[in-house]
């Protein structure tokens, strides 16, 4: 049985016609998984909005309340990447709640998958690059309140560096940030993660998977985490609009198999979020995100 977390509000956001964010992908992925030949092995969970106290563990209270009350100025709102709406507030808080729930399920069940999450550009007091609050660090913080959890690794394979995560983790020695990304890509000003693997543009499957494998082995052996939060962004794909790496569909599948099998073989609970992925073709994009679920279904 694989535990999956989803809420319909993830895709319920009206955006301007030319907006670059593929808001429908969450719903498409959910619908495709409902029709999956092995859908009987998927157990669905619907999250609630994260309590504000959880968000305040990682974000400036003034930023949180400015966001809730539509008081963010035009320039920082533009940097965040979404026009403000009540639906954005609901979606944002529920996505954070979803990643927290996914980590709780992973700690109980060994693995859990979230059909949202990976808002790794969100910083302490501002949002950036379609990210409002850093669900990864918030969920790690909540997990660390359990007596048996001493260290959490955030393993970020989205093509963009997890700069918000890196900055937030600099004062959190119990949360280890590891980012494998395309070096010459957004954000132009990188932050220092605990482990950064900056790859050259055009990097292909074999070199990429070698780096992922080395990064995963290094960070887990050095830090012996009790939980791994995995950002499985698919914007590493060669056809992604915002990527610049050259990873094939097969390479993506191998990556998900590699990460999940490593965690299962090492009894390391793994909470997965789908992260970034930008393609105007919803079918193609859904197929890329689906590799994570197919790899999990194949292993369990
Ligand atoms: Zn990305």
Q: pLDDT tens, 281-296?
A: 999 999 999 999 999 9
Distance (Å, rounded) from C-alpha 104 to C-alpha 177? 19
Predicted confidence (pLDDT) per residue in 96-151, tens digit: 999 999 999 999 999 999 999 999 999 999 999 999 999 999 999 999 999 999 99
Report d(CA 274, CA 289) in Å as an integer. Answer: 7
pLDDT at 162: 98
- 162 CA from centroid of ligand 1 (Å): 8
CA of 275 to the centre of ligand 1 (A): 7
User: How high is the pLDDT of residue 128?
Assistant: 98
Q: In Å, what is the CA distance from 58 to each residue of 126, 135, 137?
A: 11, 9, 7
DSSP character for 48? P
**CA 65 to ligand 1 centroid distance, Å:** 26
Residues written for the chain? 300
- In the reported structure, the alpha carbon of residue 147 is separated from the centroid of ligand 1 by a whole-number distance in angstroms of 33
Q: What is the dihedral sign for C-alpha 255, 259, 261, 265?
A: positive
pLDDT at 119: 98
The rounded average pLDDT for each run of 10 residues, N- to C-terminus, in the chain (300 residues) is: 97 92 97 96 98 98 98 97 97 98 98 98 98 98 98 98 98 98 94 98 98 98 98 97 96 98 98 96 96 96
Q: Which two tokens stand for residue 52?
A: 């504000």
Joined together, the tokens standing for residue 286 give 């859904």
Average pLDDT of the chain, as a whole number: 97
CA of 132 to the centre of ligand 1 (A): 14
Residue 154 burial by CB count (10 A; 0-12/13-18/19+): exposed, middle or buried?
buried
- Contact (Cβ atoms closer than 8 angstroms) between residue 150 and residue 226: yes
Distance 212 CA to ligand 1 centre (A): 16
Protein residues within 5 Å, CB atom, of ion ligand 1: 158, 160, 233, 235, 276
User: Hey, is 199 helix, strand or coil?
Assistant: strand
Alpha carbon 29 to its chain centroid, in Å, reads 15
> What backbone phi and psi angles, to 5 degrees, belong to 15?
-115, 155
**CA geometry: angle 191, 234, 43, nearest 5 deg:** 115
Q: Which of 129, 156, 139 minimizes the C-alpha distance to 232?
A: 156
The Å distance, Cα 241 to ligand 1 centre, comes to: 10
Strands (E), 237-288: 270-273
User: For residue 53, what pLDDT is reported?
Assistant: 98
Question: By residue range, what is the domain housing residue 168?
Answer: 2-299
Ligand 1: distance of its center to the CA of 261 in Å?
A: 23
Domain containing residue 70: CATH number: 3.40.800.20
Q: Which residue has tokens 């550009």?
A: 121
Q: How many domains does the chain have?
A: 1
The residues that bridge with 111 in the sheet, in sequence order, are 270
Please tell me the distance between residue 207's alpha carbon and the centre of ligand 1 in angstroms.
19
Cα of 276 vs centre of ligand 1, distance in Å, is 4
Q: Ligand 1: distance of its center to the CA of 240 in Å?
A: 10
> For position 178, what pLDDT does the model report?
98
CA of 7 to the centre of ligand 1 (A): 21
Q: What is the pLDDT of residue 126?
A: 98
Instruction: State in Å: Cα 77 to ligand 1 middle.
Output: 19
How far is ligand 1, taken at its centre, from the CA of residue 293, in Å? 19
Residue with structure tokens 């950002």? 231
Dist. CA 265–CA 163, nearest whole Å:
30
Q: Which of 212, 283, 206 is nearest to 247 (CA)?
A: 206
Question: Among candidates 198, 203, 187, 184, which has minimal Cα distance to 246?
Answer: 203
Q: What are phi and psi of 261, to 5 degrees?
A: -70, -35
């Amino acid at each position: 049985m694989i535990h999956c977390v989803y809420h319909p509000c993830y895709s319920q956001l009206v955006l301007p016609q030319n907006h670059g964010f593929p808001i429908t992908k969450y719903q498409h992925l959910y619908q495709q998984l409902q029709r999956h030949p092995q859908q009987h092995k998927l157990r669905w969970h619907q999250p609630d909005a994260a309590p504000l106290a959880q968000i305040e563990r990682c974000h400036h209270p003034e930023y949180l309340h400015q966001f809730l009350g539509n008081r963010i100025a035009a320039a920082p709102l533009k940097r965040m990447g979404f026009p403000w709406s009540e639906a954005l507030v609901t979606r944002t808080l529920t996505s954070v709640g979803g990643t927290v729930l996914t980590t709780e399920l992973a700690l109980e069940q060994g693995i859990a998958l979230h059909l949202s999450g990976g808002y790794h550009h969100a910083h302490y007091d501002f949002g950036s690059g379609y990210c409002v609050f850093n669900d990864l660090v918030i969920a790690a913080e909540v997990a660390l309140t359990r007596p048996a959890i001493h260290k959490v690794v955030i393993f970020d394979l989205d093509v963009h560096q997890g700069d918000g995560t890196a900055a937030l983790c600099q004062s959190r020695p119990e949360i280890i940030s590891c980012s494998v990304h395309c070096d010459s890509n957004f954000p132009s000003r990188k932050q220092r993660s605990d482990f950064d693997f900056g790859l050259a543009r055009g990097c292909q499957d074999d070199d990429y998977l070698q780096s992922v494998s080395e990064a995963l082995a290094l960070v887990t052996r050095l830090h012996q985490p009790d939980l791994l939060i995995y950002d499985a962004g698919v914007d590493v794909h060669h056809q992604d609009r915002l990527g610049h790496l050259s990873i094939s569909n097969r390479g993506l599948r191998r990556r998900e198999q590699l990460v999940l099998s490593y965690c299962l073989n090492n009894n390391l609970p793994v909470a997965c979020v789908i992260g970034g992925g930008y393609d105007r073709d919803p079918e193609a994009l859904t197929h890329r995100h689906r590799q994570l679920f197919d790899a999990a279904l194949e292993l369990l």
